[in-house]
Structure formats: structure tokens, C-alpha cells
Structure 1
């Protein structure tokens, strides 16, 4: 039996469906029962992910935990102390679940972390690796990093196996936020000043991430390891938009504004973070994931973009 948190989220829904299709017995920890999950899944209401949440009922007969639930980025955070809010859920809430899981005899705990634990950007030809020792500055990344450190200590103390996966930006059918905005702009034919960007960024398709998570459930070499994940092909912002436009069946109208000018203009407007995401590098090295697990991303970038675009077009009908 597997316990899954975050089962109704973007990643969780896809993972729930795959595990159900594979006839894997699954318990979903939910705030409240929902009809959005497949019928065979056992739902256990646990309320919010907090440092004092009682997981005893949800952990009954569970062999492995896949922990996806988290406090994610909030664009306009109203918390008085945002770092404390992230730590309360992502660090203390995670470690509370992990301690109860270890006490209940859970064999393996899979934690979905974030590439932000490594950092916000890479330099040319120096991608992040799974064993880098960077300490993050992003508040969300800090809370995930501290959760990782606590999980490593718990593994040493209890013998429960811990697996950590750090994905970069995840896209796929049903994607929201900035990726959805890009699709809307391209579909409407809006000209974008993004035609001369020569950065390199790693992304991961939803199906590729889900495939890696399921691989880590039982793979003996995954125990007590940290893995980075991507599609295995890095893209510039310009190339991503061109290939996404092709998947949408729309011509891309990308203006060749020089990258330095675009970065300087956005920075002057107080949008340095947006400039970094559009023009900066963020590459990950997945050779450890490939070598240790024998894992290869099952979906190509173009096929993943096609599926993402098709879902978007269908949602507009």
C-alpha cells in the first residue's frame, strides 16, 4: 500500500491515475473527500499539512509514502512571515509525517523537493548535479532544503529509506501559471520580444516526472539518494516558444530584441526575477539518475509539448 499526499494537485492527479492503472493499492491523504480521484483509491481526510497533523489512520498498512503536498510559491504572499509559513508546512509538516511514517514501519519515503534547493540559475556549461552543496536563498527552496536535511537525519536514525527528487519547471496537460500564459500568448498570436534569447533551461514533462517517481517506489538503488530530473534536452526560451507554437499549430511572432537589452529593461522596471527566468540559464545534470536507476525519460520534448498543447486546445472548445 502506498500513501500519496498532494493527490489532487497537478502532479498528484497524474500520478494517482498511473498507479491506479498499474493496480497499485493506493491511499490518498486529502483535506476532505473528493470525487476527482479514481474510485479504487482509499481516501483518508487528514486536514491540512501541519506540524501536528495526525497521520495514524492514513498510515495503516502503508509500505511507502510519496509526499507531494507543499506550500508552493505565492505571487502576492500575505503571510506576516513568509519564510515561517513555508517552514511550517514544507519543513515541519513534512518531518512530522516522516517521523510518524517511520514509527509505523514504512519502508520508503519519497519526497518531491525542488531544483530551487540547488539554486536559481547556472553558469554556462556548469549544470546543477544531485550532489551539489549549494544552500538556497529562495524562501520556498530554503524550506525544501531544510526538509531534506531533516529527512536524511531521520533515515540514519530509523532505517527508513528516503528518496529525494528535485524537478525543475514541470509542464504537461493542465499546466497553469507562466507556462499557461505562454500558450495563451502564442495561441492569440501576440508578438513577443523573445526571439533572440540564447540561454539553456531544463524542463521536465509531467509524464516523465511521474515515471521517475514510480520507478523510485521499488528500485533498490534509489534508497537514500537524491535525484535530479529533466526531459534530457535543454532549450532556450526562444526555442521553447518556437516548438510550443508549432505544437499549437500557430506561427510564432518573436521579435529579435537583443537579450542584454531585454534583461536591462526588465531589471530597470523592477522585474529582475522575470528577466532571470526568461534569459538566464538553469540546467540540470541527470546522469546520476540515468546511471543509478537505468532511467531514460520516456517522452520526448516535442511529444510532451504536443500533448500539452492538445490539452490546452481541447479545454478551449
Structure 2
């Protein structure tokens, strides 16, 4: 089923989900006995609403709003993947591709925001005195103008409306086979504990080779870490349940690892962007991440994974 058949798109500047506007009360909190289909709708809608709430400020070039849009989008994508056995249907793949497109658009400008702030930190009183500041700032402004057009486009508006409709009433929600019905009715606490353990095991297995990884493999590890971190974060309502005591502790270590891997990734992206600007004869007299700092960050991430591993023993 094509995306256009789920619901008609509306102008992007008004792209707040219709159901979200009509609902008088806030999203309910999760509890361990809640059915998986209900839990999915609760957390997915939270993140979709957060995404929409930051759209207009992002169009006005607010870096913090852009960052919040990226966080909300990453949470939403992680939640869809977390519940993929249940929500897999003919529409999910198309929505996944459109969310990936949006993530690429947001990410490109976010990288420029991070790079410009790094340059600005070299001379906070007069950042324009740094030779690299002007070309980077111009590229950043150009990126924000492009992003504003994206967020006010028919494509973006359709994506928001269609995702909203799919969360509530997608084909996944009406499958009649016994397995699908069982997945929808399963208690969220039991499903989450099993899924988190599965993803955690996969992450720890890959993390053992962290120090030997190149940039691409390290980026892949960071995405796995982020996927697990954001999934647990989305389920924070459940943490009062003693069955999730290990997850509460694990989340602390995952966040520490994520911070280190994120800084490593920002450094790698900064170098890539610098190389691109140098091709256009732009001066780039700074190093985004030195060897010593990189070594310390790798050491910190490895330490977090060792602590995370002990929780499984």
C-alpha cells in the first residue's frame, strides 16, 4: 500500500498530527501489563509530537530546536525498530525510508551547527577572526535555509500525517493471524526485557573490537548503542518495576558510551566537512579531534562496555 493511501498530506507548516491536536489529555504512562500495541502507540506518538513541536523553531534556525528534532526522530525510528516484529507491514518500509530521508536532512545541518560551534569556541569574543569561521558559517546558513524549505514541503507534511495515521491504524494493527494477535496483546514488560537483552548482547559482542575499529565500524557501533539507549529511554515509565533494575543501571553506562562515541563521530564528521571546504579553497586551520583526545574517548567507551558486560553476569 503506497503512503498516499494512508492519509492525505497537509501543508508542512501545520504538520501537527490531527489526533494529537484533538486529544485533551496527555499521553498515558506505560505500565508493565500494558499490551504491546498500546505501548507502541503511546511512545511513538510522544516522539512524533516532540518532532512536530520543534519544527517551527528549527525553520527559524534555532540550533537547539534542530537538535531536539533529531533526538525525537531518532527515538521514533528506534521505537519502530524495537517493535518491528509486531508493526511490520506493507507500509512500514516506506515510512522507514521517509524517516531516513528526514534524518539525513536534519543530520547534515546539525553537523554544520556542531562544526561552527567548535570553531566559535576558539575565539568566543571574536569568532569571525578565525579564518575558517566565515566559510563554515556561510555553509551553515545555506544548510538552514535548505532545511526550512524541507520542513515546509509537501513531502514533510505528508510524512508526518501518514506516520501519525500508521501509528494508530496501520495495517499492522488489523492483522488477523494468531501470531500477530499474540504480539499485539503481549505485556510490554515481558517483551521489553527480552528485546533489550537481545540487543544488549549484540552490542557487547561488537564492542569487544572497539579499539581496533575504523571510523565506519565505530559509527556502526555508535548506531547500535544509540538504538538501544533510545529504546530503553523511551520505556522509562517501566523502570519503577523491579524487573527493570538492571536496565536502569545499564542505561547509565550506555549513555556514557554514547557520549564518547558521539564526540568521536562529531570529530570524524568535522574532518570530512573540512576536507569538503578545503576543496573550495576555504582555510581550515584547526583539528576537530586530536589523537590524544581520541584515545581517551575510546578508553572511556571501552570502560563503559566492560561495566555493562558485568551486569549480564
Relative to its length, the structure with more helix (as a share) is 2
Who wins on radius of gyration, i.e. which is larger?
2
Work out which structure has the larger RCO, using CA pairs closer than 8 Å and 6 or more positions apart in sequence.
2
* Structure-1-length-normalised TM-score: 0.29
* Structure-2-length-normalised TM-score: 0.30
